[in-house]
Structure 1
Amino acid sequence: MTCVLYLLLTIWLHIRPLSGGLVKLEGELENSAVISHSQGLMGRLETLLLQGNSSDVSLRVETADGDEVKLFQAHSLVLSLQSPTLSQMLQNRNSSTLVLQESADCVAVFEKFIRYLYCGELSLRLDQATAMHKLATKYGVSDLQQGLTEYMSQNLASASASGHVVGWYEYAAAAGDMGLKATCLQFLSWNLSSVLQSAQWPSVSAELLMALLRRSDLVLQSELELFEGLEAWLIQNDPDSLTVENALRAVRYAMIPPRELFRLQRNSPILGRYQESVRDLLYLSFQFHSASPLQLAKFFDVNCSLFVPRNYLTASWGTPWVINNPARDDRSISFQTQLGPSGHDEGKRVTWNTLFSPRWLPLSLRPMYNEQGTMHQSQAVQPALGAARPRIIITPTTSSAEFAGISFQKTVVVSTRQQGQLVVRHVYNFHQSTEEAGDFLANVDLQQRTSDYLVDGSLHLHVIIKPLYQTLIAIKK
C-alpha cells in the first residue's frame, strides 16, 4: 500500500493540469500530452484521509490548556512530502501519536490545513486566513503560504464585520511578512476616510497608528477629519502619555484652518489635557496662517512635515471626475484650487486644465507628414498606435510667475468597486515640472467594461493639487 501511495503522490505532485483535461509532463515537447484524471486522484487521496486507510500516525492537535482537541489519522509519507517541519517531527517521534500544540484559531482550521496537504486545495473565509497562514508558516508549506498572502492581498476591500485588514496588518507585522504588511498599510492609507468611520478603527495598534500618522500619502477628506479620528482612538484606547504626545505631534495642524484650530483648542478634551505638548506646533501653525510663508521662514524653522499636505479630498484641493465610457474619446475638465495651504493664500486661486485621453500618443511617436500629406518614411515603419495608452495631463492656466516660490505635486486617485464597495485602487503622483503621470493606467485596457479599474463602465478619478513651499521645505517621500 505504501508503494502505491508513493507512486500516486509522485504523479500528482509532478503533473500540471491544462485546459481540456490534458496534462503536459515536465520537460516534454509542446504537443506531448496525456489524458488527466488528476481530479479523481485528488478525490481518492481525500478519501484516504477521511477513512484513515493504512494510517501510520495519529495527529493530536490541541490548545495549550487542552480545552480543544482534534484527532486525525494520517500518513507519514504524505505529511513528509508536503511539510519539511512535519517530516522532522515525524522522524523524532517516539510513539504512533504526534501531539501538535496550536492556538484555538489554528485548531479550528487544522482540518482544512491537513486536507490541503492531501489534496492541494482548500476553501476558506476571510476570518480563517490568518490562522491558516500561521499553520503554513509554522510547518513550512511555502506554496500555501504564498497563496494565502496573495489571497489576503486581493481581498483587502472585501466586506467584513471583523475589520480584517487591521488584523491582517498586525499579524503580518508580528510574523515578519513585510510584503503583506506593506500591502495592508498602503490599503489603509489610501482608504483612511472609510477606515476612520469603521468598526476596525478602535482596534488599530499604537504602532499602526503612528505608521499612518507619519505618511503624506493618506487619502482622506481633511486634516481635521484625521484629528477627530485620532481623538476618538485616544479616548477609547486611553494609551500612556508618551503615546498620546507622539500621536498629537504627528498631526499637521498647519493644514487645519485657523477657525477650526480655535474651536479645537476650546472644545477638544484631548487638546485641553495635552495642549502643552503641542503648544509650539499650534503657535507655529497660527503664525503660518497669518503671515507670508516667505516672511515666516526668516524667523522659524519650517523645514518639516507640518507644512506638507496629505491627499485631501475637499474642494479646496481638487475635484472628483467620473468619466463615462472612458475608451470612447478625449475629455477635459477645469477646476480651481487654493494657491497654498497658508491662510495668507486663502483668497488666491489657481485654475487647472486636465485632459484625459484613452489613446494619447507622445509627440515623439505621433506621425509627421510632409507638404504632400505623406507620412515621413522614417516613421512609416513605426507601430504608432501600438504605443498609445491612457494618459492624463494637468496644466495650470495661471502664469508660473504668480506662484511665488510655490510648487505643486499633482495626484490622481483612481477608485474602483471591490466586493460592492468603492475603494482606492491606485494613486499616481507627478510634480509641477511634469505635465503628465508617466505610468498612468499603464497596461490597463479601458475597452473592457469589466476592467478592474472601471465601475459600471466608468472611470472614477479624483484630481488633487498639493501646493508645496519649495524654497522653505525639503520634501520627503
Structure 2
Amino acid sequence: MVRLYEQGIPAWSYMSTLFIFILFHSVTIRGAALKQEAPLDSGATLLNHSMALVQRMETLLSTGNGSDITLRVQTIYMDEVKVIQAHSQILTLQSDVFEDLLIRRNDSVVVLRETSDCAAVFDKFVRYLYCGDVSVRLDQAISLHKLASKYHVLGLQHGLTQYMTQHLSSDSPNSHVVSWYNYALKIGDTVLRDSCLQYLSWNLSSVMQSGEWSAVSEDLLLSLLQRSDLILQSELELYEALEAWINHNQPDASTVESALRALRYGMIPPQHLFRLQKQSLLMLKYYESIRDLLYLAFQFHSASPIQLAKYFDVNCSIFTPRNYLSSSWGSSWVINNPTRDDRSFSFQTQLGPSGYDSAKRVTWNALFSPRWLPLNARSTYTELSAMQPTRTEGGRPRIIVTPATSSPDFAGVSFQKTVIVMAKQQGKVVVRHVYNFHQSTEEAGDFLFDADLQRRSSEYLIDSSLYLHIIIKPLYQALLIARK
C-alpha cells in the first residue's frame, strides 16, 4: 500500500481527509485564502492553515502519490501525449464532466483529446482543480477558458472572464482584445463580448495605431463604424485608418463599399474632403459608390442649420458627430487633488462642424465640485474665479457645463455634452468612463457616482489627479412644421 509523508498514513486515508476538507471550502482563480462558511463561535480564534493544504495538494499532484487514474491528454492531429497521474475524488468534486467520464471508464486510464492550445495548458487546468489557483498569461486565457467551459468548472470560467475584462489594456503582440472579442462572440459570452467592444470603441485612436487594428475582422469593423460612441481624434483619422485596414486586409468590394458608406463625411472639413478626392487612391477607386454622400457633405458645409433642416433629414448619421478629441470639439482638463475644493474652467469650441459655422466659436464654463451641494446653496456661478471653501460633509462629485452666453446662432442646434474620465491600467492611459448629458440639463447626474476620490490609489485617479476630457457635440434639429 502506498504511504505518504513518512508518517505512515495510508494514501486512501489521506485522500479522504483532503476530500472532506475541500468539500467545505471555496476556491478562487488567484488562490485567495479558503473561506470558512460557518461563523465562528463567540470568543473563538480562527487558525488558518489553508495555504499549507494548498502546498500539500500541489505536492500530491506533482508526485502522483495515491493516484487511482491516469489522464492521457492527446493532441488532436498530432502524436503528442501528456500523461498526468490524478485522483478521481478530486476531479469528480470539481467537474461533473469528469464525474461522468470516470463512471463510464473501463480501466484506470482515461484518454482525453484536446486541441494543441488546450493540451499545452492542461497541466495548469488540472492544477487549478487541485489547488484553486492558476497563473495566467494573455495568450493562455482563451485556452484555459475553453477547458473550463468544456469540463464545467464554473469558478475558473467566471474567473477567466473577469481576468480578460480587467486586462484589455495590457500590451500584447498578439492582438488579444480582438481575439477575445471573436472568441466571446463564438461562445455567446455577452459580458466579455461587450467589454471588448466597449474597450475598442472608447480607445479607438490608440487601437488604430497598434497591431490590433489590422486584426479586426470585417464584421467587427462594420460594427464599429456604425457606432456614435467611438472616441478618436477626428473622422479624418478614421478614414485614414480605414484606408490602411483595407490595404492590409484586401476585403472584397462589397465590404469596402459598406465601410466607406459608414463614414460620416459631414464631420470632415471641406478642405480635407477636397484633398481626399484628389489624393486618396481608395476614394478615387470607389468614388462612384460614395458620390451621393460626398455631395450631401458639401451641401452640409455650405448652409446654415435651419436651411439644411428644410430639405434634409438632419438626424441621419452623416450629420451626427462621434466623440472627437481634437481641440475644435472640446478640451482636456486635469484636476490636481480633486477632493480639495471646487474648480472652474473655461474653453472654446466651434459652433458647429459645418463649414458655414467654422468661424463661429462658443465659450463654455465648466465647474467641478468634489462634494456637491444644491445649486441654490452655491455662490453665483458666473463668478468663475471664486473658489468654494473645502466641504467635508456629505455630497458627491458633480460637474456642470454651460455656455457662457446665449446667441441667435444657436437656433437649430442643440448641444450634447460628453465627459470622458481617463485612468491608468497596466501602465497605459485608457478611457475609464463616459458620461453624456444634453442641453436640457446642465450636469451629468450620475457623474463619478461610485468613485472614491479620497484614496490616492483610486482607479479614477492618475498620479492623484483626475483626468477629464470634455466634448461638445452640436446636434442639428429637425424643423417642426406647423399644421394649417
Displacement after TM superposition at 1:3 (Å): 5.3
2:313–2:478 Cα contact (<8 Å) kept: no
Partner AA of 1:435 in structure 2: E
Map 1:187-336 → 2, pairs under 5 A:
187-336=199-348
Partner AA of 2:464 in structure 1: G
Is the counterpart of residue 403 in structure 1 residue 415 in structure 2? Answer: no
What is the alpha-carbon distance in structure 2 between the residues aligned to residue 420 and residue 432 of structure 1? 36
1:357–1:392 Cα contact (<8 Å) kept: yes
What is the alpha-carbon distance in structure 2 between the residues aligned to residue 402 and residue 289 of structure 1? 16
1:423 paired residue number: 430
What is the alpha-carbon distance in structure 2 between the residues aligned to residue 63 and residue 262 of structure 1? 57
Map 1:8-87 → 2, pairs under 5 A:
8-15=18-25, 24-26=36-38, 34-87=46-99
What is the alpha-carbon distance in structure 1 between the residues aligned to residue 212 and residue 198 of structure 2? 16
Gaps of 5+ in 2: 1-10, 28-32, 379-390
2:193 paired residue number: 181
Q: Percent identity?
A: 61
What is the alpha-carbon distance in structure 2 between the residues aligned to residue 391 and residue 404 of structure 1? 28
User: Aligned with 2:370: secondary structure?
Assistant: strand
What is the alpha-carbon distance in structure 2 between the residues aligned to residue 301 and residue 186 of structure 1? 29
2:455 paired residue number: 448
1:190–1:218 Cα contact (<8 Å) kept: yes
What is the alpha-carbon distance in structure 2 between the residues aligned to residue 3 and residue 245 of structure 1? 70
Partner AA of 2:132 in structure 1: G
Displacement after TM superposition at 1:401 (Å): 4.6
2:16 paired residue number: 6
2:303–2:356 Cα contact (<8 Å) kept: yes
What is the alpha-carbon distance in structure 2 between the residues aligned to residue 105 and residue 327 of structure 1? 48
Is the counterpart of residue 137 in structure 1 residue 141 in structure 2? Answer: no
2:342–2:370 Cα contact (<8 Å) kept: yes
Structure 1 pair 408–114 and aligned structure 2 pair: CA distance change class (3 A): same
1:22–1:34 Cα contact (<8 Å) kept: no
Displacement after TM superposition at 1:24 (Å): 3.7
2:309–2:478 Cα contact (<8 Å) kept: no
Displacement after TM superposition at 1:13 (Å): 3.5
1:68–1:107 Cα contact (<8 Å) kept: no
Structure 1 pair 99–252 and aligned structure 2 pair: CA distance change class (3 A): same
2:104 paired residue number: 92
Q: Deviations over 1:29-81 (max 9, x none)?
A: 57655422221211222122111122222111122112432111111111111
1:321–1:462 Cα contact (<8 Å) kept: yes
Partner AA of 2:400 in structure 1: I
Q: Deviations over 1:286-318 (max 9, x none)?
A: 111112232233333443111110000011100
Structure 1 pair 236–44 and aligned structure 2 pair: CA distance change class (3 A): same
Partner AA of 1:258 in structure 2: P
Q: Deviations over 1:128-187 (max 9, x none)?
A: 111111111111110111111111111111222222211211111112111001011101
What is the alpha-carbon distance in structure 1 between the residues aligned to residue 262 and residue 42 of structure 2? 59
RMSD over aligned Cα, in angstroms? Answer: 2.3
1:78–1:118 Cα contact (<8 Å) kept: yes
Displacement after TM superposition at 1:95 (Å): 3.4
2:465 paired residue number: 458
1:122 paired residue number: 134
What is the alpha-carbon distance in structure 2 between the residues aligned to residue 272 and residue 334 of structure 1? 42
Partner AA of 1:80 in structure 2: T
Gaps of 5+ in 1: 368-383
1:391 paired residue number: 398
Structure 1 pair 305–242 and aligned structure 2 pair: CA distance change class (3 A): same
TM-score (ref. length: structure 2) = 0.89
Partner AA of 1:438 in structure 2: G
1:339 paired residue number: 351
Partner AA of 2:200 in structure 1: L
1:352 paired residue number: 364
Partner AA of 1:92 in structure 2: R
Which of 454, 478, 483 is the matching residue for 1:471? 478
Displacement after TM superposition at 1:4 (Å): 4.0
What is the alpha-carbon distance in structure 2 between the residues aligned to residue 350 and residue 425 of structure 1? 28
1:59–1:73 Cα contact (<8 Å) kept: yes
User: Aligned with 2:155: secondary structure?
Assistant: helix
User: Aligned with 1:15: secondary structure?
Assistant: coil
1:12–1:38 Cα contact (<8 Å) kept: no
Structure 1, 103-112 or 5-14: larger mean CA deviation: 5-14
Structure 1 pair 218–442 and aligned structure 2 pair: CA distance change class (3 A): same
What is the alpha-carbon distance in structure 2 between the residues aligned to residue 172 and residue 184 of structure 1? 9
2:315–2:477 Cα contact (<8 Å) kept: no
Partner AA of 2:276 in structure 1: L
1:163–1:199 Cα contact (<8 Å) kept: yes
1:23–1:35 Cα contact (<8 Å) kept: no
1:254–1:286 Cα contact (<8 Å) kept: yes
TM-score (ref. length: structure 1) = 0.90
1:56–1:74 Cα contact (<8 Å) kept: yes
Displacement after TM superposition at 1:385 (Å): 5.9
User: Aligned with 1:442: secondary structure?
Assistant: coil
Q: Deviations over 1:180-211 (max 9, x none)?
A: 01011101111100000001110111111112
Partner AA of 1:89 in structure 2: L
Q: Give the number of equivalent residue pairs.
A: 455
